[in-house]
Structure formats: C-alpha cells, structure tokens
Amino acid sequence: MQREDNRMAGPRRSDIRSTLRSRSTEALRTLPRVLIAQEDAKALDGLAELFSGRYAITRAHDGEKALELLREEELDLAILDQHLPVYGGIEIVERLVLDDRVPPSFMFLSEQASAEERVHGLALGAADFVMKPVDPEELLARVARIIAGVQRERSLAADALSDPLTGLANYRALMRNLQLELERAQRYDTALSLLTIDLDGLKSINDELGHCAGNDAIKLVASVLQCAVRRFETVARQGGDELAVLLPNTTLRDAVHLAERLRGEVERRSICGRPLSVSVGVASREIGDSPTNARDLIEASDQALYWSKRAGRNCVSGSRR
C-alpha cells in the first residue's frame, strides 16, 4: 500500500532535476557548435554570452588550443581572431590545410588587417572577414547567415547519401563507408564483415497486395535492421529488395550470429497477414587476411546470398573472403 501512495505522490525532486538536466544536455547536442578563439578573456566572455542559447559554444584563448579543438571536434563554425597567441587565425587554417583536413566554416575577426590579409583569408575559404569593433546585432546576423548555409549544405549532402523510401544509407553511402572501413581494417588488422540481405518474395507481395504493401515490407525490414545494430554500423538499401549491413570489428562467426538474429526478427513480422522472411549472405575480412578490396568482399557476400537462396531462402550463409 505504501508503494501505491508513493507512486501517486508524483516524481521526486531529484528525478525532476535529472530529467531537466537530460533535456538540457540533449538540447545542447542539437544546437550548432561554434568555436570562439579570442585572447582577451573579457571579449571572449562577451561573445559567448552574445551567442548563448543560439549555439553550443566552445572556447579557446590561443591559436594552439583552437587548432587542437579543430582537429579533434566536429564544429559547424570557427570564429578566429586574427591576432591570437601562438598561431593567428589565418595560420590555424593554413595548418589544417597542410594536415589534409577540411576545416569547418570559419570567420576571421581582426582590429587591424590589411587588404592583402583580408583577400588571403577569403581565398582560404573564409565565410567572412569581420573588422572590429562590430555591432553585436550585425555579428549575430553574419553568423546566422553562415550557420544557415552550413545546415543547408549538410541537408543536401544527407539527401544525396540517403534512400528516400527507408531513410537508410543508399548504395553510394554504403560504398563510401565500405572503402573507409576496409582501409581501416587492413591498416590495423581488424575484422570487417558485410551482410547482403534479400527480402524474400517481394515480387509476389507486389503482385498480390500491391506496390504500397511491397514498400511497407521493405520499410519494415529496414526498421528491424536499423534497430538491431550499433550506431557506428552502416545499414543501407542497395536498391529494390536488397539491403546491406556493414559491421566493423566483427568476425565471420559473430556476423553470422547477428545475421541469424536479424533473420529471426524479420520472420516474426508480417504485412497484411503475409509472413516476411529474408535470405542473408555474409562475407568477412578476418584478422591476418591478406589485403583485399571492396569488390572482392561484395562478390563474396553476393555468393553467400546466392547459396542462401539456393538452400530455399529464409536462411543465412557465410563466406570468408
């Protein structure tokens, strides 16, 4: 009876504070991330206060720290004072270029800069070169314009790498990630696995229930796959009824185990009363394997998928590359 009374009394204050902190942290994660590099502590505090609530602010008091942050963190905009200790704003960007890194959008601030410096800064790709002192409202407007452009470009890039039906990565994104992960696996001699997954009987679903039901079946399988993998694993739709899962640091044995679990999850789903199933081919680059390429891994996965289909579908077959 006492437990019932406690539940009716409502959440404790500590629970409420924890929830509010969680929501606040989540909100900060969704804000555009802006680095402000400024030597003068008072000026840095003023800029941080100006942008507070609009952006998640990261601070640096000198060029060395700013460069370190730009190398390590994902930022949407860097506001770099041209006259920082250690490295000035332009030198920071030049060093990033020498590192073969693509810097985020960046803006230079300067009290004194020659026309030559301003031209050089813009030639490096600066979104703006602002002379101080600057009106706070004008600075807000300039930064908002840059951030809007960054978000627009990011949205276009995401669309170019996404499958419109399922929201998964598309074939182009899969191939890009496969190449990157394969290079990493060979550099550090780690395992890498690829699942190629075929939705069984999609043609008959389309013929008997209509293409809308077929699309719903593809989306349902995509959802099952997406919910079952880790954040850093790629789930993609290659086209039609074929999907793929890219598994870094995963051996053939573990990949086959996951594939069986995914197959079982799909088997418990249905569309319009019609049960669903998938056939899965698994291929792996194991620790100690000789160098390989993306095409070899894809062909091995496709061959394993063919074996699953020949075996009667709704099963998993594995192949070591």
State how beta strands 270-271 and 33-37 pair: unpaired
What is the DSSP track for 182-243?
Answer: HHHHHHHT--EEEEEEEETTHHHHHHHH-HHHHHHHHHHHHHHHHHHS-TTSEEEEEETTEE
Model's pTM, two decimal places? 0.58
Domain extent listing, the chain: 2-160, 171-320
As to burial, measured by CB atoms within 10 angstroms (0-12 exposed, 13-18 middle, 19+ buried), residue 93 is buried
**CA distances (Å), 171 to each of 168, 196, 236, 243, in order?**
10, 12, 7, 9
CA distance 95 to 8: 60
Please list the alpha-helical segments (H only) found in the chain: 2-8, 13-30, 41-51, 63-72, 89-98, 115-123, 136-160, 171-188, 202-209, 211-228, 252-267, 294-310
Instruction: Kindly report each contact of residues 46-50 with a partner whose C-beta sits within 8 Å and lies 24 or more positions away, as own/partner.
Output: 47/79, 50/136, 50/139, 50/140
What Cα–Cα distance (Å) separates residue 286 from each residue in 149, 299, 302, 317?
43, 16, 18, 16
Given this model, what pLDDT does residue 279 score? 97
- Nearest Cα to 242, choosing from 192, 279, 276? 279
The whole-angstrom separation of Cα 41 and Cα 61 is 7
Q: Show pLDDT as tens, one digit a residue, over the chain (321 residues).
A: 333 333 333 444 444 444 444 444 444 458 999 999 999 999 999 999 999 999 999 999 999 999 999 998 889 999 999 999 999 999 999 998 887 666 789 999 998 888 898 999 999 899 999 999 989 999 999 999 999 998 888 777 666 778 889 989 999 999 999 999 999 999 999 999 999 999 999 999 999 999 999 999 999 999 999 998 887 799 999 988 999 999 999 999 999 999 999 999 999 999 999 999 999 999 999 999 988 899 999 999 999 999 999 999 999 999 866
Residue tagged 């507070």 (tokens):
52
pLDDT of residue 114: 86
| Orientation of helix 115-123 relative to helix 89-98, angle to 10° | 30
CATH 3.40.50.2300 assigned to 2-160: yes
Q: Which of 277, 258, 101, 135 is nearest to 200 (CA)?
A: 277
d(CA 154, CA 288): 38
Q: How many CA atoms are closer than 13 Å to the CA of 236, on its beta-carbon side?
A: 24
CA angle 112, 108, 157 (to 5 degrees): 165
Determine the pLDDT at residue 321.
62
pLDDT at 90 (0 to 100): 93
**CATH superfamily membership of 171-320:** Reverse transcriptase/Diguanylate cyclase domain (3.30.70.270)
